[in-house]
Homo-oligomer: A and B are copies of this chain.
Amino acid sequence: MSVATFSLDDLVADLDDWSVVPADVESASRDRSGSPIGPAAIVVRAGSVEQVQATLRFAHQHGIAVVPRGAGSGVAGGAVAGSGSIVLDLSRLDRIVEVRADDQVAVVEPGVITADLDAAAGAHGLFYAPDPGSVGISTIGGNIATNAGGLRGAKYGVTRDAVLSLDVVLADGRLVTVGRETLKRVTGYDLLGLLVGSEGTLGVVVRATLRLLPRPVATSTVAAYFAGIDEAAAAAIAVRSSGVRPVVLEIVDGPTLAAIDALEDTRLRANGAAFLLAQTDGHAAAIEADVIAEVLAPLATYVETSDDPVESARLMTARRQALPALERIGRVVIEDIAVPPSRLAEAIRGIHAIADETGARIFVFAHAGDGNVHPILVVDGDELPAYAIEAVDRIFALALSLGGTLTGEHGVGLLKRDWVAQEVGGVVDGLQRAIKSLFDPAGILNPGKAI
């Protein structure tokens, strides 16, 4: 794509903040995936919906790629910008327009940091449920683009479950609203669900009405250790069968426990070769934690329960410190497969086998409540070595062979697009491309991502 056939002057006339300074453009062309960048021709920092519309009209007219961007915290390359493209940075659109307590909704712009929305909701006795690991840095727009999950998903679901309606600028600059500020609605097709998770390839979200929930009156924590992954995975199934739906249900493998011990001077690994963390919330948090502890007792080497926040924080160390501990060993590459709950043990054992066979250092933790497994590769240097690439490919193949998916919550981005057709099949792949063409006939919106 060339910038020679048009003048950026025509674009910037409608803008109040943009840059073509190489350092600005280069940093705006990256995300946390480490994927190679173009870099882009210009970064537009949109200050209004009208500026988003003007940018897309210009790009549509001239056939220029537009890469929408929030905080750039994505790990799948969804916000990586190719040469000559326009980076459309939405982080200035960061107003929490309103929180309506009676309806339990917030109306926000896409640049709002997820944790800031949660804090604003808190002032009304409410909270925003989706809590990706990046909650302190990622934007709502990015969360919507990737249909972000998080720890609390076991009970509260993912971002799509929290989105009631969206204002979206289409590829040609038209502004539409999809969805409705009702909790239920079956008028027409679910374009709202289609847009959530589409990684900026079908439209650019400029406003969202999001569902909030009452802030829980109490939280209880159960921490348990097991002889191995099979026992921990069986315990997770037992919890799911108990009739208690925990807010959080996380598994951490033995190598990760050992890594935390090495760096934190703890002795977690001595408790067992796999860790399971469960949290319950609400008026019955303590009762539900007791049910979980009873279910776990016969399966575990060690179980501890607490309703006390300080004590709970200690019990959560084995999960909270997992990623920080691994980040201190080397550069981490976070993978993100999901499998049916009954295949969790096979998935984690398979990943350990891939580590042994390829020589890759791979640690595993998983959202056991929904079968979403994060294999964490630790590598040296910026380039991914060949054995690590082989390990990742084998992890994807393993996921598909277990009836699973390439990505549970991080998205396809650039990094996984070669695998999409294998997961969804050729006909569905074709339908996805046709839908992309329908929404974006000129192919300008985040080309080469998501599908």
Q: Could you list which residues of chain A lie within 8 angstroms of chain B, going by C-beta atoms?
A: 100-105, 125, 146-147, 149, 153, 158, 160-161, 170, 174, 176-178, 180-191, 193-194, 196-198, 202, 214-217, 237, 240-244, 282-284, 287-288, 291, 338-342, 367, 369-372, 403-412, 416, 420, 423-425, 427-429, 431-432, 434-435, 438-439, 450-451
CB of A240 within 8 A of CB of B104, answer yes
- Could you say which of B237, B412, B435 contacts A438, with CB atoms under 8 Å apart? B435
CB of B186 within 8 A of CB of A409, answer yes
Supply 8 A–B pairs (Cβ within 8 Å), ascending by A.
A176-B425, A182-B370, A186-B407, A187-B406, A189-B194, A189-B435, A434-B438, A435-B438
Residue numbers in B under 8 Å from A237 (CB-CB): 102
User: How many copies of the polypeptide does the oligomer hold?
Assistant: 2
- Could you say which of B101, B104, B244, B412 contacts A187, with CB atoms under 8 Å apart? B412
Question: What's the Cα separation between A8 and B306 when bound, in Å?
Answer: 70
Residue numbers in B under 8 Å from A105 (CB-CB): 340
CB of A432 within 8 A of CB of B191, answer yes
Residue numbers in B under 8 Å from A147 (CB-CB): 186, 190
CB of A241 within 8 A of CB of B424, answer no
Knowing A181-B340, A282-B244, A283-B244 touch, does A424 contact B102 (C-beta < 8 A)?
Answer: no
CB of A287 within 8 A of CB of B291, answer no
CB of A184 within 8 A of CB of B409, answer yes
Question: What's the Cα separation between A188 and B197 when bound, in Å?
Answer: 8
Closest to A435 in B: B189
Q: Smallest Cβ distance from A160 to chain B, in angstroms?
A: 7
